[in-house]
Amino acid sequence: MLPLADLLATATSGSHLYCCGPQPMLDAFIAATADRPMNMVHTESFVPPETASPGAGFTVELARSGRTVAVAPDQSILAALQAAGIPTTSSCKQGICGLCETVIVSGEAEHRDSLLTPEEQAANRTMMICCSRSRSDLLVLDL
């Protein structure tokens, strides 16, 4: 195990701290940074988080065109958009790279990614459309 406490002691109080790796290291990093502001502590897991059941279907509206796309219970927003021929950007499709991050115009996201902090998820400003879903029947995205 890395000497996390020693490494973190060299970071100033205004430093953003990043850690990427296996879960035991992330757990140790999170514990070692518990006294830091959460918006300055960033982690990236090698595996996506365990998710609950897929949930219900919902509708995504694309704010720029007004077009709507139905997202099936077993389908990601990204997959629904791609099936509808809408250009998207993605890579991992597991909520760990951030390439598909999309601005939320209205509606409430159900975040299932490993990137956004709890505060960022609660702010409901952006979401990873490859893995996250919607708590509302209609989700309007800045697409």
Binding of ligand FES by 111 (CB under 6 A): no
- Return d(Cα 57, Cα 131) in angstroms, integer: 14
Q: Which is nearer to ligand FES, 95 or 107 (CB)?
A: 95
Binding of ligand FES by 107 (CB under 6 A): no
Q: Which is nearer to ligand FES, 8 or 143 (CB)?
A: 143
**In the numeric block, which tokens belong to residue 120?**
């960022």
User: Half-sphere exposure of residue 99, counting CA atoms within 13 Å on the CB side?
Assistant: 9
Binding of ligand FES by 130 (CB under 6 A): yes
- Return d(Cα 43, Cα 32) in angstroms, integer: 13
Binding of ligand FES by 93 (CB under 6 A): yes
Binding of ligand FES by 105 (CB under 6 A): no
Cβ atoms of 73 and 54 within 8 Å: the answer is: yes
Interface with ligand FES (CB under 6 A), residue from 95, 109, 112, 143: 95
